[in-house]
Amino acid sequence: MGRKTQWTHKHLIGLSDLTREEIELILDTAKSFEEFSTRSIKKAPTLRGKVVVNMFFEDSTRTRNSFTLAASRLSADVIEFTKTSSSVSKGETLIDTARNLEAMGVDIVVIRHSAGGAPKLLSRSINACVVNAGDGYHEHPTQGLLDVYTIRQMRGSLEGLKIGIVGDIAHSRVARSDVYAMTKLGAQVTLIGPPTLMPASVCDLPVKVSYNLDAVIEELDVINMLRIQFERLGGNPFPSVREYSHFFGLTMDRMQRAKKDILVMHPGPINRGLEIESEVADGPNSVILRQVANGLAVRMAVLFLVTQASTLEG
Ligand code: NCD
């Protein structure tokens, strides 16, 4: 039987709006791009003649480079935009900057911004496709997609899996996108962390909440350790970093109590010794570098699908 789902979105703002079928379509498209990385010539002409701009208003290593590489593997031209070396530092607004880039023929704007809602605003103001590379505490859809892609690759399916997301949930856009993607694909998600790092909106999410990692670690099939977003913390959410590590860090000792085949994930950047011990991050259960590798295939799929939807629309 042929696939019925059609991709119709010219923007990717978040995963909360997508159906299970649409998420699966992205994952299946990414699968077909995965073999690219094994070829000696890692290029396809899919986006030849298209222009992608990477507008990053926040620091990034993985996500920015992954989008750049994904676009260039599809033969698009890529413009790298940074806040400090652009006219934004002279007071130009986000929309004006984007409109000017659009006047140069940009087809896809990949945007990371500290303000939740910035990609949505942009999508209403310009004709180009907009892809959210992380906005404030809101969503980080390609991270959510690469996380579920990695779990599906390792386990075949997410149906019935018990997944723990640990740490600074309140300031994490990754946690939100993960929850939407994982639960839509059939997993049961528990958010784990100190009460001070749980968002007030947690009761609106289809998840369980635990304030005690030791009480739940034994039942988890997958554990995703988040970074403490120190740059976003206002006050002191916990007495000390050592205390946080003691209660919520993924240590070798805790790993002894986890399932033998538990998948250990982290979106990066890792704070070794804080949320995760080096031995665990580099150990046999860790799929952290696999997540990074899969990010490329997922972003190629997203760039391809939004371009296709915009062509159909136009
Ligand atoms: C995340 C981000 O920027 O939201 N990192 C990433 O994209 N790989 C998480 C983080 O910064 O901790």
Cα–ligand 1 centroid distance for 177 (angstroms) = 12
Ligand 1 neighbours, Cβ below 6 Å, are 62-63, 134, 140, 143, 173-174, 227, 229, 267-268
Alpha-carbon distance 179 to 226, whole Å?
13
CB 217 within 8 A of CB 257: yes
pLDDT band at 77 (very low <50, low <70, confident <90, very high): very high
Which among 63, 97, 150, 190 is annotated as catalytic? 63
Tens of pLDDT, residue by residue over 94-132, are 888 888 888 989 999 999 999 999 999 999 999 999 999
Q: Residue 229 CA: which ligand 1 atom is closest?
A: 12
- Give the pLDDT score at 314: 65
Q: What is the mean pLDDT of the chain?
A: 93
The band of 3, judged by pLDDT with boundaries at 50, 70 and 90, is: low
Q: What's the chain's length in residues?
A: 314
Please tell me the predicted confidence (pLDDT) of residue 59: 86
Per the residue annotation, which of 140, 173, 176, 227 is the catalytic one? 140
The amino acid that residue 237 corresponds to is P
* Best residue for ligand 1 mutational test, from 61, 63, 171 (most atoms within 8 Å of Cβ): 63
Q: How far apart are CA 89 and CA 209, in angstroms?
A: 41
Domains of the chain: 20-139+293-313 (3.40.50.1370), 141-289 (3.40.50.1370)
138-170 confidence digits (pLDDT tens): 999 999 999 999 999 999 999 999 999 999 999
Give me the percent of the chain exceeding a pLDDT of 90: 80
Note the pLDDT of residue 2.
Answer: 55
Q: How far is the CA of 178 from the centre of ligand 1 (A)?
A: 12
Q: Averaged over 259-281, what is the pLDDT?
A: 97
Q: Kindly give the number of the ligand 1 atom that is closest to the alpha carbon of 227.
A: 12
Residue 51, pLDDT > 90, answer yes
Q: Catalytic residue, from 9, 31, 46, 62: name it.
A: 62
Work out the pLDDT band at 253, boundaries 50, 70, 90: very high
**What integer pLDDT is reported at residue 299 of this predicted model?**
98
Q: What is the reported pLDDT for 82? A: 80
Average pLDDT (37-56) is 91
For 10-62, give the DSSP string. Answer: S-B--STT--HHHHHHHHHHHHHHHGGGGSSS---STTTT-EEEEEESS--SH
Contact between residue 151 and residue 212 where contact means Cβ atoms under 8 Å apart? no
For the CA of 143, the closest atom of ligand 1 is 7
pLDDT for 232 equals 75
Q: Which atom of ligand 1 lies closest to the CA of 62? A: 8
Residue 135 has pLDDT above 80, yes or no: yes
pLDDT at 1 over 60: no
> Confidence class of residue 233 from pLDDT cuts 50, 70 and 90?
confident
Reported for 253-256, long-range contacts at CB under 8 A and 24+ positions apart, including other chains, are: 254/213, 254/214, 254/217, 255/280, 255/283, 255/285
Active site residue 290: no
- What does the pLDDT average to over 20-26? 98
How confident is the model over 166-211, as pLDDT tens digits?
999 999 999 999 999 999 999 999 999 999 999 998 989 999 999 9
Q: Are residues 272 and 263 in contact, defined by beta-carbon separation less than 8 angstroms?
A: no
